[in-house]
Amino acid sequence: MRGPHNVWRLIRTGATLERTGAMNLALDAFDAPAPLRLVARVMAWPFKWLGHKGDPSMPPAVRALSALGPAYIKFGQVLSTRPDVVGDELALQLRVLQDKLPPFPTAYAIATVEEELGASLATIFSEFSEPVAAASIAQVHKARLKETGEEVAVKILRPGIEKAFRKDIDAFYFAASMIELLSPSSRRLHPTEVIKHFDGVVRGELDLRMEAAAAGEYAAKTAGDVGFVVPKTHFFHSAERVMTMEWAEGIAFGDVEAIDAAGHDRKLLGERVLQLFLRQALNDGYFHADMHQGNLKVSPSGDIIAYDFGIMGRIDEYTRRAYAEILIGFIRKDYRRVAEVHFEAGYVPADRDIDDFAQALRAVGEPIFGMNATQISMAHLLAYLFEVTERFGMETRTELILLQRTMVVVEGVARTMHPEINIWQVAQPVVEDYIKENVGPKALLRDLVSTVQVLGRFGPKLPKLMETALNQSHDSERAIRKDQPNGRLIGFMWGIGVAAAAWVVWLLLS
């Protein structure tokens, strides 16, 4: 599938941007240099007539991305949260992609529910509305359970969405392989691995059974988070293409005017959404990885309600500690420590100069402290960060893609609520609390206890393991004795070391 026929799809992408008038918007939003503008226009203009026409009633960017398909819509959803990158006007246009796309017929939705749940609609729901929201993957209907009378939200996948995504992902794979072939310097960014990661994420999002499970786990992990609500999942009324959840009444997070009219504190909401994300990522290692305005509401009591759990992120304990140390290093302007963590974690090749890297990080960090969002050019900051990663040969870490992407999205959401938010000041208490509990003596003690517990599971095997180790030490001793005059002493000491280690393990387990 990833053959040259994808060239046609990529040509149509550029042609669609040109035909819908979105090309200039994209180039202006990213402040593209003159040479890039010229190349883009020269390559796209001759094929303009091949582009998708889209819906002329939509703004150019929304028209283009909607016509191109669901994977492109996902990209637009991310950009919609970053007015500091693409500008206020374009960000506002793209927000339509979050939950206001054209719906598919209710008759198809009902047929899908009945097929997936194995019963007629009337036996499950006493009420079933027309679509109340429609996004790239699915649409939502408001319904009422016949058995309990509870109001619920029923999410149903779009018809043919799996095939449509496969076509887009196929073209992305092809583009990534061409980039790696034609631009050797780009290989450090692992374009194909990035697309593979995105592919895996999308596959999970297209199975609503997985989303239901994710919602259940997320609800359990965040049960103690004050001011944050995850609606209850109805597993019995969920399947591969249908998911039923508790109905959550609230104001959409992107509707700033309605939030103001309801008397909610937008500054508090902006700070809370950022801190909640950081706490969940650092403390739980499990976070909502699609946290844009279309997936958040404000309840009448002022709580933040999250939904749409198709994309969730996980990070292991070691990565969380490294990430926290990097954040706290930036907050404290300890660029040397930030550089050390990058080297310790293997994010920067060991043959690079750590002092030069620390200096480059200072050049990134210093301009943003003491400024509010209106003074920071995020586009320029991201461009400089990219230059730093290229200069020091940093490779893309696919395990961090979702974390980094979500951080960008959540920061954009927070700034929508409170444009002057200082993300470093808001993040500092959360990161410091995590550091106190997870980096230092307490963490070391917990690590030792965990290690002993793991060793405890091997308790019955320890005698055999010790015997094997001692036999290996005797074999090594004989080999060394043949080559070195003092081999007998070295072999003897090696055996003593193994025995001592085994004795320590026995003491810990006894």
pLDDT value, residue 36: 58
Q: Where are the domains of the chain?
A: 6-99, 103-135+137-247, 249-439, 444-509
The mean pLDDT value for 406-430 works out to 84
* Residues facing residue 144 across a β-bridge: 127, 151
pLDDT value, residue 162: 84
- Pick the range with the lowest mean pLDDT from 12-16, 408-412, 451-455: 451-455
pLDDT above 80 for 294: yes
Highest mean pLDDT (candidates 197-201, 292-296, 354-358, 487-491) = 354-358
pLDDT above 70 for 481: no
DSSP annotation of 104: P
pLDDT above 60 for 393: yes
How many percent of the chain have pLDDT more than 90?
28
What's the pTM value of the predicted model, to 2 decimals? 0.71
The mean pLDDT value for 70-75 works out to 76
pLDDT value, residue 204: 73
* Sign of the Cα pseudo-torsion (471, 473, 475, 477, in order): negative
The mean pLDDT value for 212-219 works out to 95
Please give the residue that has the higher pLDDT: either 371 or 193: 193
Q: Amino acid identity of 476?
A: S
Tokens of 259: 């939030």
pLDDT value, residue 502: 42
DSSP annotation of 235: G
pLDDT value, residue 29: 61
Residue 322's pLDDT band (cuts 50, 70, 90): confident
pLDDT above 90 for 290: no
pLDDT value, residue 15: 80
What tens digit of pLDDT does each residue of 118-171 get?
999 999 999 999 999 888 889 999 999 999 999 999 999 999 888 888 877 887
Are residues 97 and 71 in contact, defined by beta-carbon separation less than 8 angstroms?
no
Highest mean pLDDT (candidates 167-171, 297-301, 446-450) = 297-301
Q: What is the dihedral angle through the alpha carbons of 404, 406, 411, 416, rounded to the nearest 10 degrees?
A: 150
pLDDT above 90 for 296: yes
pLDDT value, residue 174: 77
Residue 491's pLDDT band (cuts 50, 70, 90): very low
Half-sphere exposure in the Cβ direction for 25 (13 Å, CA): 25
Q: How far apart are CA 291 and CA 403, in angstroms?
A: 11
Q: What is the distance of C-alpha 42 from the center of its chain?
A: 35
Tokens of 302: 């002022």
Q: Mean pLDDT of all residues in the chain?
A: 78
Please give the residue that has the higher pLDDT: either 413 or 97: 413
Tokens of 10: 């990529």
Catalytic residue among 168, 225, 290, 308: 290
Q: If phi over 0 gives left and psi between -120 and 50 gives alpha, with beta otherwise, what is residue 54?
A: left
What tens digit of pLDDT does each residue of 223-282 get?
999 999 999 999 999 999 999 999 999 999 888 999 999 999 999 999 999 999 999 998
The mean pLDDT value for 7-33 works out to 72
pLDDT value, residue 120: 95
pLDDT above 70 for 115: yes
Please give the residue that has the higher pLDDT: either 91 or 152: 152
State yes or no: is 290 an active-site residue.
yes
Q: How far apart are CA 78 and CA 62, in angstroms?
A: 13
Please give the residue that has the higher pLDDT: either 124 or 92: 124
pLDDT value, residue 97: 74
- Pick the range with the lowest mean pLDDT from 36-45, 67-76, 200-209: 36-45
The mean pLDDT value for 290-297 works out to 88
What 3-state class would DSSP assign to 486? coil
Which residue intervals of 6-80 are DSSP H helices? Answer: 6-20, 22-29, 34-44, 60-68, 70-79
Highest mean pLDDT (candidates 155-164, 207-216, 489-498) = 207-216
pLDDT value, residue 494: 41
Residue 356's pLDDT band (cuts 50, 70, 90): very high
Q: Any residues with CB less than 8 A from the CB of 401 and at least 6 apart, and which?
A: 194, 197, 198
Strand 242-246 relative to strand 286-288, pairing: unpaired
- Pick the range with the lowest mean pLDDT from 141-155, 294-308, 414-428: 414-428
pLDDT above 60 for 434: yes
Are residues 15 and 67 in contact, defined by beta-carbon separation less than 8 angstroms?
no
pLDDT above 90 for 55: no
